[in-house]
Amino acid sequence: MILVVLGTWIGFAAALVGLIGVTLIRGWGAMGGVAGFIPFSVTASFSLSVIPLFILMGYFAFYAGLTRDLFSTARSWFGHFPGGLAIATTFGSAGFAACSGSSTAAAAVMGKVAIPEMLRYNYDSKLAAGSVACSGTIASMIPPSVVMVIYGIITEQSVGTLLIAGLLPGILEAVLYSGMIYVRCRINPSLGGALPKSSWMERILSLRGIWGMVVLMVIILGGLYMGVFTPTEAGGIGAFGALLMAVGLRRLSFAQMKESLLETGKTTAMIFATVVGVLVMLRFFALSGVTGAFIDVMLNAPWPPLAILSFILFIYLILGMFVSAIGMLMLTLPLVFPVVVGLGYDPIWFGIIAVRMAEIAFITPPVGINVYAVKSVVSGITVEDIFKGTFWFLGMDIFNLVLLIAFPVIALWLPSMMR
């Protein structure tokens, strides 16, 4: 934590601590073995190959103009409500989430399209920026989700089942955000007014721009749900389908193709390096006995299971303020996952809860990465105002979390119907 606060990237900080710890406990030979084995075992993993495919799918979808088409369609259907453009942004982000596994990328690309439009219609700048930053987190819940893949690999749960389990909670998230926007703007129209109502013909014609995305989403989710192909195969099909859309619409130049591949490589390298660094530190945890001791203490604590779960979620809330979402999950899951399962909670359900906490980490100060992603694509709105704009959405996140805890069936119904 000291290294992270000093500005060291979490992957390098975790690896440094882990290597020093292993050396102190087992010596230089063990440290060399850990340093040599873990990086190869991670990067050679077939399961992790789904990550660059999901990321590449998102870049191709962006260059195919899906963000603009989704926002335009959502505007036609919801623009006439109070706060309609912010509601359109939320549902547009949820639609783009079905083509992108990156929350930060979803926030950045939607911010380029939606925020200027909202400001043009005199929307409150905090509401405009906050809606983009927060609705971008839906990409971590709705498949394909990189965060969900990381959870599945760490906990050895079915990635396909996890991806399907995230669909209904992701839709619920979009509905709660939109409901909150509607109520606030209904009470205070100065936050965001209603646009002229589109005719039914205009609404139906607006669907032409998103048919490709819908087909792609149905193929991917349907294939996973029916067990036709694995998540990695779904990533390959999704990336290829998004490429076909971009080429077919004549919206993908050679330069954009190169940019997509380069950015996918950079993002994948960052994620893999984080995974490697954290796994090195977790090897130190295991050798030192910390992992086993923590599990024993938590399982033997004289508290009811819900109290222990609440304590774990509180730790996630605090940790998410200072550590990236993926780093946070990787650091904690080897410790808390055995505890949660030992308390009798469903591992798939807890995956949704953990991803929900990761989503909150994307927008909480001071390290809310989605806030800075939005700031990077808009001018005239301060970081402080964007954080203020996320306040009401954080309230909906907590309410969403309570619903998922009170009604696990929201997350478990679709997986229970899978073949």
Task: Give residue-wise pLDDT tens across range 271-291.
Answer: 888 888 888 888 888 888 888
Interhelix angle 103-120/50-63, rounded to 10 degrees, is 20
**pLDDT (average), residues 192-216:** 84
- Angle, vertex CA 265, rays to CA 261 and CA 266, nearest 5: 120
Q: How confident is the model at residue 295 (pLDDT cuts 50, 70, 90)?
A: confident
Does the pTM surpass 0.95? The reply is no
Asked if residue 323 lies in contact with residue 10, where contact means CB atoms within 8 angstroms, the answer is yes
Residue 86: how many CB atoms within 10 A of its CB? 29
Domain positions in the chain:
45-252+289-416
What's the N-to-C CA distance of the chain in angstroms?
Answer: 43
d(CA 29, CA 276): 19
381, 392 Cβ separation under 8 angstroms: no
> One-letter amino acid identity for 17?
V
Chain-centre distance for alpha carbon 167 = 12
Q: Average the pLDDT over 89-111 and give the result.
A: 84
CA distance 306 to 303: 8
Query: pLDDT of 116-126, one tens digit each?
Result: 989 989 999 99
Q: Name the residue among 44, 18, 41 with its Cα closest to residue 31.
A: 18
pLDDT, greater one: 325 or 88: 88
Give the model's pLDDT for residue 180. 96
Task: Tell me: pLDDT of 419 over 60.
Answer: no
Q: Which of 209-213, 337-341, 394-398 has the lowest mean pLDDT?
A: 209-213
**Which residue would you say has higher pLDDT here, 246 or 162?**
162
Q: Is 7 buried (19+), middle (13-18) or exposed (0-12) by CB count in 10 A?
A: exposed
- Determine contact, residues 97/168, Cβ cutoff 8 Å: no
DSSP symbol at 195: P
Q: What percent of the chain has pLDDT over 90?
A: 30
Task: State yes or no: cis peptide before 304, omega within 30 of 0.
Answer: no
